[in-house]
Amino acid sequence: MHPRNIRPWLARYGLLLALVGISLALSLAKPGFLTVSNLINVIRQISINGILAVGVTYVLLTGGVDLSLGSLVALSGVAAACWAHPGEYPVVVPVLIGVLAGALCGAANGAVITWGRVAPFIVTLGMMTVARGLALVISGGRPVSNLSRAFTTLGSADLLGIPVPALILAAVALASHLCLRHLRVGRYVYAVGGNEFAARASGINVVGVKLFAYTVCGACAGLAGVVLASRITTGQPNAGLAYELDAIAAVVIGGTSLSGGVGGVGGTLLGALLMGVINNGLDLLNVSSYYQQIVKGLIIVGAVWLDKRSTK
Amino acid sequence: MKPRSKISGTLLALGWAVAVAVAPGCGRPTGTKTAEAGAAPAQRLTIGVSLMNLSNEFIVMLHQAMLARAGELGVALIVTDAQRSAERQVQQVESFIAQRVDAIILNPCEVEASAPAVEKALAAGIPIVNVNSETRTPPTAFIGSRDEESARLAMEYIVQRLGGRGNIVMMHGFMGQAAQIKRDRGAREVLARHPDIKLLADQTAEWDRAKAMSLMENWIQAYGEKLEAVFAHNDEMGMGAVIALEQARLKSKVIVASVDAIADALQAVQDGRLDATVFQDAKGQGGGAVEAAVRLARQETCAKEVFIPFQLVTRTNAGQFLQTVSRP
C-alpha cells in the first residue's frame, strides 16, 4: 500500500487493529484467552458498560456529557427490583419501571440543561447525587433481594449460546446506529454537536434534539440498571459507582469526540470491547490489582493518543 | 421532533415521583433522626454519632441497633453520615463539640485520618466511643471486633472442608482500606500454617457484587476445574462468586466462604448456596456503643475495650442468625 493511503486506512481501522493486536498478544500469553467460552464470557461482561456507552454516545455527540449514569444504574436497578419479587407482577413491569426511571431522570437532566441553561457537567453531577440518594431512600440503604426467577434469567440466560445481556446490547446498538445514521433526529444530533449555532440557524429544534439525547441516554442507563440487577440477582443502591467514567472512556476510545459532532455507535462498541478484553486478559494473567489499574489507565490514554495521531 | 412544553416535563417528573412512592414494600425510612422514647427525664442526654457510610448495609444495621438501644435508654442521638470521608467526619465531631453534646460515638472511616476527631473530643473533655473500627489515637472506650479474626474463621472453615490440601482464590475488598488489610492478614496467617493449600490467584473486586461476578467468570476461564474454594472479604463479593459459579455449573465443586452475614448471605447459607459466612454482631456493637456512651456521660465506670467475637455461620446454624437480622 502506498504510504499516502495508509493514514485514512489507519484512521478507519486503527482501533480494530489495536484490538486484534492486544487479543493476539493475550492469546499468546494465555492460551485460555482465545476460546469460544472465554470470548462469550467477554461479551457478557461488556454488556452493561456497552449499553451505557451506546446511550452516552448520543449525549457526547451533542457536545454534552452525562455524569449521572452510574447513579441512574443504581436507581433503576433498585426501582426495578422493588417490582420484581416473585409472584407479583409479570417480568415486563419491573423492566419497564427501570427503563422509565432512567428515562425520566435523563429527561430531567435534558430539561434543566436546555430550559434552565445550566452546564451539562453541573446538572448531571447534581443528578448523580440526587439519583444515588433516591436509590438509598427507596431501598432503605439495603440491597433489594428475593427477585423472581423470570427477572433474574434476563441477566443469566443464553439464547442460541449467546448471553441475553449481549443480545440486549446488540439490539440497543443496532437501533441506535440506525437512528443516528438514518433518522432525521439522529442526523440533527450530529448537527447540534458539530455547530449548535448553525444548527439553530438552519431551523433545527436544538432544545428538542438535546432533550431527546439525554432521555435516550437515561433510558439506556435504566436498561443497564435492570440488566445489572438481574445479573447480580439484587437491586443494589451502591451499584454502578463510577460506571459513567468507563462508559465515557469506551465512547472516546471509539473515536467519538468529547466536543461533539464526530463519531458513532460502531466505534463505541469497539471501545467497550477493547476495555472488556483488557479487563478479562489482566484477570486471566493474574496481574496484581495495583498494576491492573496502571495498565488500564495507560492503555486507555494510549489508544486515544494513537487514534488522534492517525486521524490528524 | 416536536418541542415539549414545560408542563409535560413537570408531568414526567411527577409521574416518576408517584411510581417511586407507590413502589411496593420499598419505602422504608432510614430513620436518621433523634430517637424519641418514653417520658423525657429532667436532663436528657444527647449523644452525637458520626457513622462511616450509611450506604453500607452493615453500617445501616449498626445504626438501627443504636437507635433501638437509645430508645430503650431514653437518650437522644444526633446521627450524621461521613460518607467515607474522614475529613467530613472530623468536621462532624467538631460541630458536636460546639453543640456541647454529652458524649460522642465515632465509627471511624480511617485509622489515621479520623484520629484528629478523637483528639479534639478528648481535648474538649467530651467522652468518645469508637465503634467497629479503630483510630490511631485511643478513644475513651472501644467497642468492636478484630477483623483478622473474621478472615481466620472463614479460612479455617475452608481448610477443614478441603482436608488441608487444595487450590483457592481470594477476593479482596477495596485495596488499602483497614478491613481489606486486616482480612487479608488473617487469611494469610491461616495459609502460612497450611502449605498444601495453594493460593492460585487473588484480586480486588472492590466489595462489589457485579465486579466479583466478572472476576469469578474470568477465574473460571483461567483455572476451570482446578478451582476448589473461594474466600471473599465480604458477602457481596461472595454472593457474586456464588452466582458466577452456579451459572457455570461449578458450584457443587467449589466451596465459597465470605464475611459479614448480611441478610442475603444468611439466606444463601440457609439455602445451601453459600457455604459459610462470618457473623459480625451489629446489634452487640451498636447497642454496646450507646450503652458505653451513656455510662461515660453519667461518669460511671465502663470497660476501656470490648471485643465482640465473630461467629462462623454454616447451614446448621444459619436459621438462628436469620432471625436476628431483621429482614424487610
Residue B268: inside a domain: yes
Number of domains within chain B: 2
Residues B171 and B261 in one domain: yes
Residues B263 and B252 in one domain: yes
Of the candidates A185, A207, A234, which has its C-beta nearest B264's C-beta?
A234
Chain A CB contacts of B57 below 8 Å: 141-143
Residues B286 and B254 in one domain: no
Say how far residue B125 (Cα) sits from the centre of its chain. 30
Whether B126 has a pLDDT exceeding 90, the answer reads yes
pLDDT score at A309: 65
Residue B1: inside a domain: no
Chain A CB contacts of B262 below 8 Å: 143
**Cα–Cα distance, B113 to B305 (Å, whole number):** 21
Whether B84 has a pLDDT exceeding 90, the answer reads no
DSSP letter (8 states) at residue A262:
S
- Residue A246 to chain B, least CA–CA distance (Å): 13
User: For A71-126, what is each residue's pLDDT tens digit?
Assistant: 999 999 999 999 999 988 999 999 999 999 999 999 999 999 999 999 999 999 99
**Cα–Cα distance, B74 to B79 (Å, whole number):** 15
User: For A113-161, what is each residue's pLDDT tens digit?
Assistant: 999 999 999 999 999 999 999 999 999 888 898 899 999 998 888 888 8
Residues B50 and B109 in one domain: yes
pLDDT score at B21: 45
- Residue with more model confidence, A311 or B260: B260
Closest C-alpha among B75, B84, B73 to residue B51: B84
Report CA torsion sign: B98, B104, B107, B111: positive
What angle do helix axes B282-297 and B57-73 make, rounded to 10 degrees?
40
Residues B198 and B226 in one domain: yes
Residues B168 and B103 in one domain: no
pLDDT score at B16: 53
Q: Which pLDDT band, with edges at 50, 70 and 90, does B27 fall under?
A: very low
Task: Tell me the ipTM for this assembly.
Answer: 0.84
Residues B140 and B285 in one domain: yes
Report CA torsion sign: B289, B293, B295, B300: positive
Q: Please write down the HEC assignment for all residues of B154-211.
A: HHHHHHHHHCCCEEEEEEECCCCCHHHHHHHHHHHHHHHHCCCEEEEEEEECCCCHHH
Beta strands in chain A (DSSP E): 158-159, 162-163
Of the candidates A144, A232, A279, which has its C-beta nearest B210's C-beta?
A232
Q: Which pLDDT band, with edges at 50, 70 and 90, does A3 fall under?
A: low
Residues B222 and B130 in one domain: no
Share of chain B above pLDDT 70, in %: 86
Residue B11: inside a domain: no
CB contact under 8 A, A100 and B16: yes
Residue B39: inside a domain: no
The per-residue pLDDT of chain B, averaged, comes to: 86
**Beta strand B311-313 pairing with B276-279:** antiparallel
Residues B160 and B188 in one domain: yes
Of the candidates B175, B222, B263, which has its C-beta nearest A289's C-beta?
B175
Residues B274 and B285 in one domain: no
Task: Considering the domain delimited by A32-311, tell me its CATH architecture.
Answer: Orthogonal Bundle (1.10)
Residues B182 and B136 in one domain: no
Best residue in A89, A238, A246, A292 to probe B by mutation, most B CBs within 10 Å? A238
Best residue in B2, B79, B217, B239 to probe A by mutation, most A CBs within 10 Å? B217
Residue B322: inside a domain: no
**Cα–Cα distance, B277 to B151 (Å, whole number):** 10
CB contact under 8 A, A105 and B16: yes
Q: Which pLDDT band, with edges at 50, 70 and 90, does B3 fall under?
A: very low
| Structural domain boundaries enclosing B275 | 147-279
Kindly state the cell numbers that stand for A241: 459507582
Closest C-alpha among B289, B262, B266, B263 to residue B276: B266
CB contact under 8 A, B209 and A232: yes
Residue B261: inside a domain: yes
Residues B113 and B153 in one domain: no
CB contact under 8 A, A48 and B56: no
CATH number at residue B191: 3.40.50.2300
Whether B57 has a pLDDT exceeding 70, the answer reads yes
Residue B243: inside a domain: yes
Residue B5: inside a domain: no
